[in-house]
Amino acid sequence: MPSPLDDTPKDHDSDREALSVSELNRRARRALEQDVGEVWVEGELSGVSRPASGHVYFTLKDDKAQLRCALFRTRARFVAAPMRDGDRVKVRGKVSLFEPRGDYQLIVEAVQAAGEGELLAALERLKARLAAEGVFTNARPLPFPPRHLLVLTSPTGAAIRDVLAVLAARWPLARVTLIPVPVQGREAAPAMISALGLLNRQQALDPARDAILITRGGGSLEDLWAFNDEHLARAIFHSRLPVMAAVGHEVDTTLADFAADARAPTPSAAAEQLVPDRRERLQRLAGLAERLSRAQRARLDTDAQRLDHLRARLRHPGEVLAARRRQLEALEARLHRAARARLDQERRRAHDLQRRLALRSPDRLTDQAGQRLARATQRLHQAMPRALARHRERLGGIVRELQAVSPLAVLGRGYAILENDAGRVVRRAADAAPGERLAARLGEGRLALEVLETRDD
């Protein structure tokens, strides 16, 4: 069956032998090297790279085109001036083609400085103009830590990963919202300006949003050029929310960095500046807790010592009366013991006398002994009430002395203690004023009084 391809028109040149890609690149290289030869080219350096091999690769460009260049190690060592992005140079070399990739390039033999790059010169003029207008004067303090941090960066870049990693390690409580925006190319600056305007308009809806971080990782001058946009710098300056900028590496500075309220050299450093270290806070809290515990223990020990001292000094009148009562009971017990002992002694004496009388004149001795016993018994009975009366009288005097010094006894006799509103005792008429309210403490209860008149007599 005939193939549909059979209807395709016949190409009369299809019988020719086709070139391989490598052969075509080889012929193109030879043609370029023979026809163009060695030339001088002037332009601006960009994307300067120095790998470990010692070769130098860069792009030479103007406002309309760019050219890949390679400066091999054997020639690079003769270049005295440093090669930096933005420098304008003149290079001498041969046009060639890198066959494996088909890249058109210039093999550089010599490099000469040709003045400051136009881009950097224009950037410096714009920077000076914005500084004169006060666009770089923002210095508002950022909240520490922010309640809700808004991060303007690429969602796929290394910057957001570094920021989130540092925040998670230092302050896991941080609330972060990623605002995805391009950070390179023509659309980067307008996207960031639009995001800043939207966030400022929405700030009233969510007052917890209190800080903005604009960041991206390192790159060439062209990669970071969006952050040198004049309109972006003005948008950062006019932002009601404080802004921190962390663009590129430590050596990179853009207009966004100068217009922001705070700047960090890298995205990781920005995250470290925005939040505290939780381990440091925990150590500080532990130290404060230990100090508080020590202060409490010291205060309790001091108060306990003071309470013991006051208890030792303060004796209640009831305790004094109880001590006197115990002393009286002890004296009464001693008196009873002495009386019984004396009685027993007299009985023994009477018994001895009766025995003697029995040996001599029993009747007479018995009578005499009976008389002496009666007299002794009488004296004993007379002495005991007197001794008890003396001790009771002594006890009564002690009780009266205690009652005399007791403030409650004084109040019980009709006296009163006057106190003013401050709780101080009023001892003289001059200590009170007419119309002042006093409190009278009586033996039973209290009275509220008002001073009508004071006299010093």
Q: What is the pLDDT of residues 285-315, one digit of tens each?
A: 888 998 998 899 888 888 888 887 877 777 7
Q: What is the pLDDT of residues 392-414, one digit of tens each?
A: 888 888 877 877 777 766 777 77
- % pLDDT > 90, the chain: 27
**What is the pLDDT, as a whole number, of residue 2?**
42
Alpha carbon dihedral 229, 232, 234, 238, in 10-degree steps, equals: -170
Q: Is the peptide bond before 51 cis (omega within 30 degrees of 0)?
A: no
Q: How many whole angstroms separate alpha carbon 254 and alpha carbon 265? A: 11
Average pLDDT over every residue of 429-456: 85
Residue 5 has pLDDT above 50, yes or no: no
Query: Exposed, middle or buried, 375 (CB in 10 Å: 0-12/13-18/19+)?
Result: exposed
Residue 282 has pLDDT above 70, yes or no: yes
Q: How many CB atoms lie within 10 A of CB 322?
A: 11
**Are the C-beta atoms of 454 and 434 separated by less than 8 Å?**
yes
pTM value surpassing 0.85: no
Q: What is the pLDDT of residues 329-379, one digit of tens each?
A: 999 999 999 999 999 999 899 888 877 766 666 667 677 778 888 888 888
pLDDT-based confidence at residue 196 (cuts at 50, 70, 90): very high
Q: What is the pLDDT of residues 106-140, one digit of tens each?
A: 989 888 777 555 667 778 889 999 999 999 998 89
**What is the pLDDT, as a whole number, of residue 359?**
65
Average pLDDT over every residue of 425-442: 85
pLDDT-based confidence at residue 1 (cuts at 50, 70, 90): very low
What 8-state DSSP symbol labels residue 380?
A: H
The CATH number of 121-279 is which of 3.90.550, 3.30.1490, 1.10.3470, 3.40.50?
3.40.50
Length of the chain: 457
Topology annotation, domain 21-115: OB fold (Dihydrolipoamide Acetyltransferase, E2P) (2.40.50)
